[in-house]
Structure 1
Amino acid sequence: MLNGLNHITIAVNDVSRSFTFYSKTLGFTPKARWSRGAYLFLGNLWLCLSADSVDTREDYTHYAFSIRSEDFDEFVNHLKSSGVTEWKTNQSEGKSFYFLDPDGHKLEVHVGDLNSRLNACIQHPYENMQFF
């Protein structure tokens, strides 16, 4: 039986550039690095950067990171001053900022969790939404 998310691996064009972005800009803790990849850690998330040809898609797939409400504005200002590209404007519950990493991977910082999202959806459900 599955018991949780193990790790996320993302393809990167330049390991050094992405390593710097994820460790210095986003605050991941470096754990290991080699010529074609790196392992980083954030909270309980194990992130692997893997040198490969990157093919970003035009869908809504993205990776969201949690942030405390009191840290949100300062961190978003930090991201903007670092030159990140915003790819979407938030239209859902909770504060969110959607931005791209150096390879165009879609990322988000979000205040809230599944419970706060479900509570908002109870008040304003999506089309044909069912709760379990």
Structure 2
Amino acid sequence: MITGTNHITFSVADLNASIAFYRDLLGMKLHVFWDAGAYLTAGDTWICLSLGQPEPAKDYTHVAFSVSEEALAELRLKLQQSGAEEWKPNTSEGSSLYLLDPNGHRLELHCGTRATRLAELKTSPYSGLVWC
């Protein structure tokens, strides 16, 4: 049985640029790096950057990271100043910023939680929503 997420790996074309993005812009903690990769953490989430030829999804597939409202406001300004590209406006519960990393991977910085999303669904259910 799956007990949780172990780690998330992103294929990256330029390791140094990706480390700078995830560490310096998003504030993740860099633990170690080597010629072809790096390990960082975002809270308790382990992130691996692996040198390769990225082919990011072009659909709604993305990774969402939790942030506070205050942190999101600071990150939004910092990311705009860096030239980071937004790929989608936020239309769901909770404040979010949808952005692309330097390799085109789709990320979301989100202030809500599963509990706040489920509470929102009680007042604004999705079409065909079934509670289990």
Fold-level similarity (TM above 0.5): yes
Q: Which residue of 1 aligns with 2:119?
A: 119
Shift of 1:2: 1.8
Q: How does 1:91-110 map to 2 (within 5 A)?
A: 91-110=91-110
TM-score, scaled to structure 2 = 0.96
Report the AA paired with residue 50 of structure 2: S
**Structure 1: runs of 5 or more not aligned:** none
Alignment of 1:1-132 (within 5 A): 1-132=1-132
How many Å separate the matches in 2 of 1:33 and 1:58?
28
Alpha-carbon distance between aligned partners in 2 of 1:113 and 1:71, rounded to the nearest angstrom: 15
Give identity over the alignment, percent.
Answer: 43
Instruction: After TM superposition, give the deviation of residue 89 of structure 1 in Å.
Output: 0.4
1:77 partner letter: L
Q: Which amino acid is 1:72 matched to?
A: L
What secondary structure is seen at the aligned counterpart in 1 of 2:53? coil
Distance 1:67 1:42 in 2: 10
Which amino acid is 2:24 matched to? K
Q: 8 Å contact 2:40–2:48 — kept in the other structure?
A: yes
Q: How many residue pairs end up in the alignment?
A: 132
**Comparing 65-74 and 40-49, the one that deviates more:** 65-74
| Distance (Å, rounded) in 1 between the aligned partners of 2:28 and 2:123 | 35
In 2, distance between residues paired with 1:88 and 1:130?
Answer: 27
Distance (whole Å) between structure 2 residues aligned to residue 27 and residue 57 of structure 1: 24
Question: RMSD in angstroms over aligned alpha carbons?
Answer: 0.9
For normalisation by structure 1, the TM-score amounts to 0.96
Structure 2: stretches of 5+ with no match in the other structure = none
1:20-42 superposed Cα distances (whole Å, 9 cap, x missing partner): 11110111111110000000011
Q: Is residue 57–residue 106 contact of structure 2 (8 Å, CA) maintained in 1?
A: no
Kept in 1: contact 2:28–2:40 (CA 8 A): yes
Whole-Å separation in 2 of the counterparts to 1:72 and 1:10: 22
Q: Which amino acid aligns with 1:31?
A: H
